[in-house]
Homo-oligomer: A and B are copies of this chain.
Amino acid sequence: MNIGILGTGIVGTTIGSKLIHTGNSVKMGSRTAENQKAAEWVKSNGKNASHGTFKDAASFGQIIFNCTLGTGSIEALKSAGEKNLNGKILIDVSNPLDFSKGMPPTLSVANTDSLGEQIQRTFPNVKAVKTLCTVNCNIMVNPSFLPGDHDMYLCGNDQKAKNEVTDILKNWFGWKSVVDLGDITGARALEMHIIFWVRLWSVLQTPLFNFKIVK
């Protein structure tokens, strides 16, 4: 499948490499077509890897991953162009974390709204599915790095899109348990949970952890 990834940071490149290794073609998109980090990533990921602008990546992808920083995601998606996103599944991995005011970090949107909802409202014809944002990127694409069972979550308004993303999480990324949190307002839960995750990161002194639901 052709997949576009918006954002060439550690999250975007880690997901990109995993998608290449599972047989997909990936175009990384960034603000400028000459992004050095994206060019290096392409070099080390073979013939199915390419890069370009946000617009290039969005028009290339049958599915799009949003791996930009949460505080810049809406702007990045606007740069990608609504017509290049419309009708497609947008897997939103971003978190609206704001570290600019020191620790503990805050969210740029929270409680009565969420970034996931803002994205869905701004691009009503996109099938936004929020997922993966609750773990470190190495766990996102390699959940078996952690011992035993643990859970991934997703939410979104389009059930068919969520089913397809669940298949991607299970078949390509290796997740065994994917819990559906309902419509896109579930993004509030996932994004607010991140503050808990960040706090625990500082206590555990490692980002390599996740949670298992015990019931």
Contact = CB atoms under 8 A, between A and B. Distances in A.
A147 B215 CA distance: 7
A185 interface: yes
Given A193-B192, A196-B193, A146 B210 contact: no
Contacts of A112: 106
A150 interface: yes
Given A188-B104, A192-B193, A193-B193, A181 B200 contact: yes
Give the size category of A's interface with B. Answer: 35 or more
Contact of A213 (B149, B182, B200): B200
Interface in A51-90: none
A179 interface: yes
A203 B200 CA distance: 24
Interface of A: 104, 106-107, 110-112, 146-150, 179-182, 185-186, 188-190, 192-193, 195-196, 198-200, 202-204, 206, 208-215
